[in-house]
Structure 1
Amino acid sequence: MSRHRYRRKVVIPIICTAAAVTGLAAAIAVPALARPAPTPAVAAAARGDVLDALQRDLRLPPDKVKQRLAGETSAAQRIRELRQGLGDSYAGAWFDAATGKPVIGVTDPRQAARLRSTGIESTVVTHSMTTLAATKNRIDQLAANAPDAVTGWYVEPKSNAVVVEVDPAGQDARTTQFLKGAKASDAVRVQRATARPRPLADIVGGAPFTFAAGGGQARCSIGFAATDSGGGKHFLTAGHCTEAGGTAVGADGGEIGPITQSTFGRDGDFGLVDVTDPDARLQPAVLRSRQTVIPVTGSSPADVGSTVCRSGSTSGFHCGEIQALNQTVNYGNGKIVRGLTRTTACAEGGDSGGPFVSGGQAQGMTSGGSGDCASGGVTFFQPVGEALQQFGLTLVTSGP
């Protein structure tokens, strides 16, 4: 367990440069970036920015993007309505971008027939979600012995399997032994990893949203603004950005506040910064660009297959699709993190901690990934709900 609580302490401020602007207005803790809640005109511009980003990253024309977003919203509602009635037969659900409709997996043909009679596409599979989750949890118990060549594992409803990814370049006797234990169930499928994931903190020589690392300073991105029961101000970010404690410093070189809590390991990747700057205003928004923001209206989780977008201080605003929930990721050197969401949105060093949103719904904070925004890649995020619950916080939102 890698949860730490730090005592408040005085730390010499580190001067930040403009390149270090943290990637989220939702927790803007520097007066230069604080701004009032978005007006209707600004909100409309933000929706246009999201559509532009989805067109670029998913390579879809404008009308197809709008159709897809409407389909995702409808599918999510139908899945929530039907899931409870399926009981132990439920085997996962996802949004099918080709049809614009939800697909629900079940192990009972009678349930499949019932779903189809209501117009819902259904497929009969072998393993229930209960079985798949138990299989993944069993592999999680082997995590302490996972070699770096095994980059992660996750439940994939579409293939009705727990997928274990392996980097063939690093395979050795330990990898073979681990896979032997992992494949004790026929619900496990092994596939080749295209690259090894890494945390997306970016070590730089000067500093920006600051935390000490390796004798120097590192840059990450602000995640989401939140408040505690007493009205105290905070922001969430990635736990690997806050492991060292210290003080967070904004883009203008001013202290935002002390880093107070951090989790980076089997329990997740999330950290907390107290916002003690009296002039800082918590904003329910995510930076789309220097001129526009995306309002944050809630935190309802999106389904597999749904579109999702992220903001970061290095690469800016990019979108992709959710590929899997509750993935265990092996970052190497013993750092194995459970409970992450896998996406096709690109990210780069320094984007760690930045926000993921689906529509106006907060999804989580960037943890790590592979690739970059020139060639594409896979990026993982820590679901925001777990962090809010663990720290006893309420997300700052702009309302419905």
Structure 2
Amino acid sequence: MQHRRISSRRTVVAGGAAVALLIAGLTFQSANASDRTEGFTAKKLSATAAGELAASLDKRLGADAAGTYYDAGARTLVVNVVDEAAADSVRDAGGTARIVAHSLAELAAARQGVGDRANVPGTSWAVDPVTNKVVVTADRTVTGAALTRLNQTVRELGDKAELRRTAGEFTPYLAGGDAIHSGGGRCSLGFNVVKDGAPHFITAGHCGQTGSQWSGTAGGSAVGEMVESSFPDNDYALVKYASGATAPSEVNLYNGDTQPIARAGEATVGTQVQRSGSTTQLHDGAVTGLDATVNYGNGDVVNGLIQTSVCAEPGDSGGSLFAGDTALGLTSGGSGNCSAGGVTFFQPVPEVLATFGAEIG
């Protein structure tokens, strides 16, 4: 885990961060016949509204649901289903129905199969609703017998899986957003939150241990103490501000402005997102996968992550992934950089808030 030195322009910071990986090549596929029902027009939705509709339809469709994604160009929610009856329910709710070959249960089983048979360092795997497959990504360190095992596992899963390569190396990143420092290491503040009526902030768990002291400048006075931390499996931590700290609910956009953050929300595949980080500042991209697992090596496997095409570099860990005024994730790790692009992974914010009993504020 590499530590990098940076500076911060203020002691109490607003949030931000990201990680860099290879661009995932998200391409919305043409709809099946069920998308082209004569006279049907899907509702135009914001990304936030699409996420809310997706959650509602997942509950309503149950086993007939096969994943959702947001078509940002058309501003519609695309819902994968396995039969026409479910497609009618989607249309009734205003979504675009798309009949696919594999249910979520089948893809979940395939995803578990990858984890059971080919969980090697330098790999990640996530369900991709756009391709209706489990996309397995291997970084440049996966070679020889490990790559052979990975290829064999993917072949055995048939059309339920595909293997992609990324030129970089999956690593958890340190730093990002408005900079935070501890013991010579740098990370990024994710979002300011309130717990038990007191100001705190959330960041990546791999940034530090419970009891570590954090400041806004290298070698500066501590502004808070890490009171909880979880890594691996999860990647989140909670820092309690010192008495009297000011903690605005906003993210640094690095252009003289900030983005107010009003709420936390679940990510949706296809949603355009931004991330702020102290190393690479503000960049954008799209959500390309959910519930991703990444094996960083040395036994550090993290589950349940958001996968994106946003670029980032070491120094961005812990920082903010957001869409408008909605907090989505905390930067965990990835590969690549902001010159060549990359694949990035983010810890979902709603899970973090629920675990810590905190709220955006």
TM range (shorter): 0.7 to 0.9
> In the alignment, what sits opposite 1:284?
249
Match of 1:301 in 2: 266
The answer for the alignment partner of 1:241 in structure 2 is 207
Structure-to-structure mapping, 1:5-44, within 5 angstroms: 18-19=7-8, 24-25=13-14
1:60 equivalent in structure 2: none
Q: State which of 204, 219, 222 in structure 2 corresponds to 1:255.
A: 222
Aligned residue number for residue 139 of structure 2: 167
Distance 2:292 2:226 in 1: 27
Structure 1, unmatched stretches of 5+, are: 1-15, 28-68
The answer to whether structure 1 residue 83 and structure 2 residue 58 are counterparts is: yes
> Following the alignment from structure 1 to structure 2, what is the Cα–Cα distance between the partners of residues 259 and 73?
31
- Residue deviations 1:104-146 (CA, integer Å, cap 9, x gap): 110113322554576632221121112222332343345xx73
Long gaps (5+) in structure 2: 17-43
Greater displacement, 155-164 / 385-394: 385-394
* Offset, 1:386: 1.3
Residue matched to 1:225: 192
Which of residues 109, 112, 117 is equivalent to 1:134?
109
Rounded to whole Å, the distance in 2 between the matches of 1:209 and 1:235 is: 11
User: Within the alignment, does 1:200 sit opposite 2:173 as a pair?
Assistant: yes
TM-score when normalising by structure 2: 0.81
Q: Please name the residue that 2:35 is paired with.
A: none
RMSD of aligned Cα (Å): 2.9
| Residue pairs, 1:64-79, within 5 angstroms | 71-79=46-54
CA distance in 2, matches of 1:355, 1:272: 14
Q: CA deviation at 1:222?
A: 0.7
**Matching residue within 348, 352, 357 for 1:383:** 348
| Residue 312 of structure 2: aligned partner | 347
Q: Residue deviations 1:11-65, cap 9 Å, x none?
A: xxxxx963576895159xxxxxxxxxxxxxxxxxxxxxxxxxxxxxxxxxxxxxx
Distance 1:332 1:133, change over 3 A: same
CA drift at 1:308? 0.8
Displacement of 1:345: 1.4
CA distance in 1, matches of 2:69, 2:12: 29
Q: 2 CA distance for matches of 1:339 and 1:333?
A: 19
8 Å Cα contact 1:219-1:350 kept in structure 2: yes
Q: For residues 138-171 of structure 1, give each alpha carbon's deviation from its aligned partner in whole angstroms, at most 9, with x where no partner exists.
A: 43345xx73334x200000111111111236632
For 2:106, the aligned partner's letter is T
Name the CA distance, whole Å, in 1 between partners of 2:59 and 2:351. 22
Q: 2:145 & 2:313 partners in 1: Cα distance?
A: 32
**In 1: Cα distance, 2:15 partner to 2:56 partner:** 31
Contact 2:277 2:316 in 1 (8 A): yes
Equivalent residue for 1:158?
130
* Structure-2 change in CA distance of 1:113 and 1:202 (3 Å): closer
- 1:73 deviates by 4.2
**Percent of aligned pairs sharing the same letter:** 35
Number of equivalenced pairs: 327
Give 2:201's aligned amino acid: F
SS at match of 2:336: strand
Q: CA deviation at 1:310?
A: 0.9
Mapped contact 2:166–2:342 kept (Cα < 8 A): no
Residues 199 and 368 in structure 1, CA contact (< 8 A), matched pair in contact too: yes
**Offset, 1:99:** 2.7
Please give the per-residue CA displacement for 1:64-100, whole angstroms capped at 9, x wherever unaligned.
xxxxx96434533443443333221100111123433
- TM-score, normalization by structure 1: 0.73
Q: Counterpart of 1:170 in 2: which secondary structure?
A: coil
- The answer to whether the 8 A contact 2:210-2:228 is kept is no
- What residue is the counterpart of 1:211 in the other structure? 182
Shift of 1:365: 0.8
Residue-by-residue CA offset, 1:293-329 (whole Å, 9 max, x unaligned): 1111111213110011111111111111111111111
Distance 1:271 1:111, change over 3 A: same
Equivalent position amino acid for 2:195 in 1: D
3-state SS of the aligned residue for 2:263? coil
Shift of residue 392, structure 1, vs aligned partner? 2.0
Give the helix-richer structure, 1 or 2. 1
Q: Give the alignment of 1:287-366 within 5 angstroms.
A: 287-289=252-254, 291-366=256-331
Cα distance, 1:316–1:378 mapped onto 2, change above 3 Å: same
Change in 2 beyond 3 A, CA 1:153/1:24: farther
Per the TM alignment, residue 391 of structure 1 is displaced from its structure 2 partner at its CA by: 1.8
Contact 1:20 1:209 in 2 (8 A): no
Does the 8 Å CA contact 2:261/2:360 hold for their aligned counterparts? Answer: no
